[in-house]
Amino acid sequence: MQRFLELCKEGEVKDSFLSFFYMYLYQINYPIQEQYLCSMEMQCLFNDNITMPNHCIISYKNFPASRSVYFKAKLEILCQSDSLEGLAMEVARLEESFQDFKLSYLKHLDYPLDYPTRMAYLKKLSRQIKGTGNIAMPKALLGIAYRQHIWYFGKLTADHQAWLKYQNKPQSYSQSLSTRLARSLVNIASGGDLSCTLVDPCCGAGTVLLEALDLGHLIHGYDIHQGMCWKSNRNLTHYGYKPLVICQDLNTLEHHYDVAILDIPYNLYSRITPQQQATLIKSCAKIAQRLILISYEDLREMLMAQGWQIDKSCQVTKMKFTRHIYQCHK
């Protein structure tokens, strides 16, 4: 009680309550070429000091399993123990009943279990769960995991890869961001905060817009090219969203947002001078406090010359192209 009162004075009651009563285990999976992008995204979603031992994050923050392309599974932790026998006892003490449940084991790269051992563990834990099992048609998904010498049991949510539905949008072009990268950019920009207002001032085919809307964000889109506006609005209406993209030059925008996500023209397929690129970056400072910049070339010096401070950066390589990603603030 004394510690509780101290936390009240320090204004930390909310986080302490959440961390004590609601903890979530996220199983992380990423291709090696996206390791640094994944790390950057997880730092923005959780905190700058987050680490991913054994491709796992345990946090009080409650994100849907579909929030990130790197979330393979999410476990809402109901109990834990430093031994499997102890976990079985904790599970037996739970009052909640689970009808038609299926219990799964979240695989561990550094603690591999062969199939017979996994089945033995699952059978042992299943006997302690109140309710009835139903492997064929489960209504409740449950999971156990072993991470950093601790056993966890909880409600399991698998990633259904919701972002895949936007991969075959009717309008696209060769420069378009992938849906995977676009979803990561939205998370890097917002940190998972749905109150964060976003803008894509050079939205192209609208890939970032679709991912932001799918995640529940308020976002506006602009493009200077009428043809691109038509393409992005066509994609939006195809998936049931309003055609929100307006044909307008970034340099003339006046509305203010929390974060701008700028996939800057790179002079690969469209002509643009370094001076024009610098002007676009400078104009972003007029409409947003923070900037996520994507470029095919290193623009660190240009960003700093236009008054932006770089907080984080990484590179993503696909085939022969490398994209530079910067998270900046004024």
CATH number for the domain spanning 232: value is: 3.40.50.150
pLDDT over 50 at 19, yes or no: no
pLDDT (0 to 100) of residue 160:
77
Query: How many Å apart are CA 174 and CA 67, to the nearest integer?
Result: 26
Last residue in a domain, options 135, 158, 181: 158
Instruction: Say yes or no: 135 and 255 in one domain.
Output: no
Instruction: Say yes or no: 194 and 310 in one domain.
Output: yes
DSSP 153-170: EEEEEE---GGGGGTT-S
Query: How many Å apart are CA 124 and CA 116, to the nearest integer?
Result: 12
Instruction: Say yes or no: 103 and 59 in one domain.
Output: yes
Pick the range with the lowest mean pLDDT from 13-17, 136-140, 184-188, 257-261: 13-17
Q: Which domain holds residue 153?
A: 2-158
Confidence of residue 21 (pLDDT cuts 50, 70, 90): low
Pick the range with the lowest mean pLDDT from 127-136, 151-160, 207-216, 249-258: 151-160
In the chain, how many domains are there?
2
Query: How many Å apart are CA 22 and CA 2, to the nearest integer?
Result: 22
Strand-pair category, 321-329 with 288-295: antiparallel
Determine if the pTM surpasses 0.75: yes
Q: Dihedral of CA 292/298/299/301: which sign?
A: positive
More confident residue, 61 or 162: 61
